[in-house]
Every structure is written in structure tokens, then in C-alpha cells.
Amino acid sequence: MTPLIKIKNLAVELQQKVILSQVNLSLAKGEILGLVGPSGCGKTTLLNTLAGFIDQNAGTITINTDAKAINISVDNMLPAEQRNIGMIFQDYALFPHLSVSDNIRFGLKKLAKTVQEKRCQELLNLLELADFAHRYPHQLSGGQQQRVAIARALAPQPSLLLLDEPFSNIDARLRHELMLEIRQLLKRLNMTAIFVTHNKDEVFTFADKIAVMDSGKVLQVGTPAEVCQQPNSWQVADFLQLGSWLPVALLSNGPAPSITSLLGNLEQQLINVGNVSLLDDSRHLQVLVQANAMSLSPTTSNNVIVEHISVTEQGYHYLLRSIIQDSPLAFRQLSFNSRELFALGTELAIKITAEHLLLYQAANETRNAE
């Protein structure tokens, strides 16, 4: 099946700075892609380039609609208004001088009046805005404004919908509910969408596929489960906070390498990420440990101290530091869950119980030293 949108080797430079390079992505019709990454990683630039607000310096964007394929390249730039792409802005960008229904009808001017009226009415009903049709944006609540933004973007029936941090202005309690609601709506309309967020919870709730970006590059693309279970790099695992980092040292290399840490030796359990070449340089190695992949070990001597306690619905979450601090393998913030309550400063004996661990080389020394 041909993908609805295919981005090939896309590169963008702004003021002689590389903002995006070698971006490759494709998305089937009806799929929702979440773009995540730290601030400044280029995700919003990617969105703006797709929309046509920023010109690309290399690469192609192909959009396959039912009727035709639109090819956008450096030699064939298409102005924003001819791309058939809709966008929901972070602050919604509703036209303050137009009523709700005029906002929704704004992109329908080329259609006959009766068609405009019909589609506007449908969207007002679909998004439960019928009672507010004649109000102005400033007379609406944040959630209602977002609905209007969605209705307005959907009205011209775009082939692709872009959402720029769509939930950042919604208060935390409503956010989850709204995310589910909008996801269902997009699925019902079989709408293809790309959204940007820096919130990993949003991406796991809202997306079919996620793309993790850093420094203008896409590091990994996959379903949330794939990325979660097999993060392909230290940065991906670190940004998505899939666990905490335990510094380790290599004892023996080979098909079944053996490694050691301040929590004891971790032998056969270990799974390499497939980046074996990294192990040639064995500095700054860390394994990703999930908070519930450890347990108290009555048989070994104490190896950690409780540094911080927070209460969760499942018990207590602790941040632990190693008792030994003058070793290169020392750590300060290892996450650990337990139903038992320990006082601050308590010394504990902890062991790793996970069957699979992922080994990475830390992105830089400063982070490793933390």
C-alpha cells in the first residue's frame, strides 16, 4: 500500500544552521504519528516545513491523496495554501474577529454556500459546538476553543492534519479525557495526523507510531511498544525515561559478555542493543533498569542509601544512591519501587531481577557522571 505521506532525506537550514538533516518518515492513511524529542530538536520545524511555512533545503515530501500525488522538493515548492494540509496550532490561532461558524467556514470559501453551510453544521454537531456557533473565540473556554480549531482544520477535508503541541494549554485533569476523545474522532474520520509534543505520556496515549528526534535527526520510528521495549539508542531511552541508568563495566567481551556494577555482576541476562561496535570503546557503559526490575536482597550486604521518597498509588518510589561514591560505577539516582516504607538515609541491599537488560553507551560524560 502506498503511504499517504513519504518524507525522504529532508533537510532544513535556517540562518546557516542545520535544523533538520536526513529526515525519513512515512505514514499510511489513517495513522497518527507522534513526534517527540527535547526542546530545540527540530520537531516544530519539521511540522512547519511540512505545512509550507519553512522552505526545505534538500529532500522530498510526497503526499498521495485519492486524486493525485503531490511532490514537494526544492525545485518544486508548493505554497502552504496548495498543500491540502490542515494544522491545529498550539494557541489554536482562531481568528478573533470572526464567529465560531465563520472560523469554521473560513477554508470553505471556494465551495457553494449550501455545501459550506452543510459541512459547517456537521462539524458543529460532531464537535458539540452547535450552541456556540455565533460566539466569538474570546467568549469560549480553552477546551471549546480547541474544538473550534479542530473543526476549522477538518472543514476543508485535508489529507493530512498537523497538530502542534495540541494539549499543552489544557489543564492536566481534562487532558487525558480530551486526548482519547480526539483520537477517537480522528480514527472515525480515518484522518492521517502528525502531532508534536514533548510529553511522553501524550505520545503513548495518542499515537499509533512514534518518532523520537534529537538534534535535527530522527533517532527511531516505531509503534510505542517497539520503541519502549527496544529503544535503539541511549538518547531515545533517556528522553522517554524508560528506566534509570546503572553504570557498568565490561569484564569480558564476546557473544555472551559479562559485566559488573555496584549492584553485583550481571551475566548472561544481558542483551546487547546490537551496537556491538560501541563495546570496542568500553567507557561510559550503562544499563537501563526499570524501577520494578529490582528487589531487596537479604543475602547480600547493603549497597545503596535512600536519597528521596515519593508516594505513588502503588506504594513508594525511591531514588537511591550507591554507598560507594568514589568509584566510576557510582550512581546517584536509581529508581526503585517498593510497597515497604524506608526512612531517608536507610541503607538497603538491592539486586537486579530483570531477565533482559539493555546496554548502552552514555551520550556524554557529564550525564554519566550524574
Interface positions with other proteins (CB under 8 A): 51-53, 79-81, 83, 85-87, 89-91, 93, 95-97, 106-107, 109-110, 138, 152-153, 155-156, 158
Shortest distance (Å) from residue 65 CB to other proteins: 15
> 90 or 260, CB closer to other proteins?
90
> 93 or 189, CB closer to other proteins?
93
Shortest distance (Å) from residue 20 CB to other proteins: 17
Shortest distance (Å) from residue 162 CB to other proteins: 9
Shortest distance (Å) from residue 144 CB to other proteins: 17
> 110 or 173, CB closer to other proteins?
110
Shortest distance (Å) from residue 154 CB to other proteins: 11
> 167 or 318, CB closer to other proteins?
167
Shortest distance (Å) from residue 71 CB to other proteins: 19
> 162 or 348, CB closer to other proteins?
162
* Full 3-state SS string of the chain: CCCCEEEEEEEEEECCEEEEEEEEEEECCCCEEEEECCCCCCHHHHHHHHHCCCCCCEEEEEEECCCCEEEEECCECCCHHHCCEEEECCCCCCCCCCCHHHHHHHHHCCCCHHHHHHHHHHHHHHCCCHHHCCCCHHHCCHHHHHHHHHHHHHCCCCCEEEEECCCCCCCHHHHHHHHHHHHHHHHHCCCEEEEEECCHHHHHHHCCEEEEEECCEEEEEECHHHHHHCCCCHHHHHHCCCCEEEEEEEEECCCCCEEEECCEEECCCEEECCCHHHHHCCCCEEEEECCCCEEECCCCCCCEEEEEEEEECCEEEEEEEECCCCCCCCCCCEEEEECCCCCCCCEECEEECCCCEEEEECCCHHHHHC
> 89 or 204, CB closer to other proteins?
89
> 152 or 200, CB closer to other proteins?
152
Shortest distance (Å) from residue 67 CB to other proteins: 16
> 17 or 138, CB closer to other proteins?
138
Shortest distance (Å) from residue 145 CB to other proteins: 13
Q: Which residues contact 173 (CB under 8 A, 6 or more apart)?
A: none
